[in-house]
Amino acid sequence: MTEIATAYDRYSEDRYRLSPVELEAKYPVGPEVPAEPGHVQLDVWCQIVDSEGNATGLLRRARGRKVVDIARDLKAILEAEGLVDESFGLYIGWQHEHAKSGVPYWQGGCDEVEWPNDYRWIACYAVMGDSEGHYIHIELVRQGKGCDDPDTHELVFLGKTFQGLDHAYALAKRTAELLGA
């Protein structure tokens, strides 16, 4: 077994056994790892360093990125790829418990909200709008524990297009690819 594989096994076991403070002390983090080009990074990852500050080859999720930054990156990539026109809107539909209470997202209510890590998967799909256009729903799905505790869907982003249902499907597909759904 390689040295990195052995270190990973130790870290994997300690991750569930130690408190966050103990984990940070035993596995200090180094510099952040930059995002891959053409990909929307949901989390901030850092290198784990040894006691002398040398990279161990392991990474650790330091925190979630800010939801507003994720939305900005997602829209920028879709624009650069020519998938959206000037009528496209991408909105933060999230009224997360960490958002400023009573402050709408368009007034900065979600500016400091970080992407969570307690969801099962991301769902991206297109639907017909009530009055006009088509919507792209981007939701987090949290897994329930059975019939009495069903899965929950939490709307994070809502996109709107006037370019037809087939285009909305294409946007939902590309969004799913970019977010790793």
Q: Are 49 and 28 in contact (CB under 8 A)?
A: yes
User: Can you list the positions of beta strands (E) in the chain?
Assistant: 29-32, 43-49, 55-64, 89-92, 121-128, 134-142, 152-161
- Residue 48: the pLDDT is 83
- Residue 87: the pLDDT is 81
Measured CA to CA, the distance from residue 169 to residue 125 in angstroms comes to 7
- Residue 176: the pLDDT is 95
Domain spans of the chain? Answer: 3-64, 67-179
Work out the end-to-end distance of the chain between its first and last CA atoms, rounded to an integer number of angstroms. 32
Mean pLDDT, each 10-residue run in order, the chain (181 residues): 64 79 79 82 86 79 86 91 85 60 53 82 91 88 76 85 92 94 78
CB neighbour class for 84 (10 Å; exposed up to 12, middle 13-18, buried from 19)? buried
Q: At what angle do helices 165-179 and 67-80 cross, to 10 degrees?
A: 120
Q: Are 123 and 181 in contact (CB under 8 A)?
A: yes
128 DSSP β-pair partners: 134
| Strand bridging mode 134-142 / 121-128 | antiparallel
- Residue 1: the pLDDT is 47
Q: What is the pTM of this model?
A: 0.77
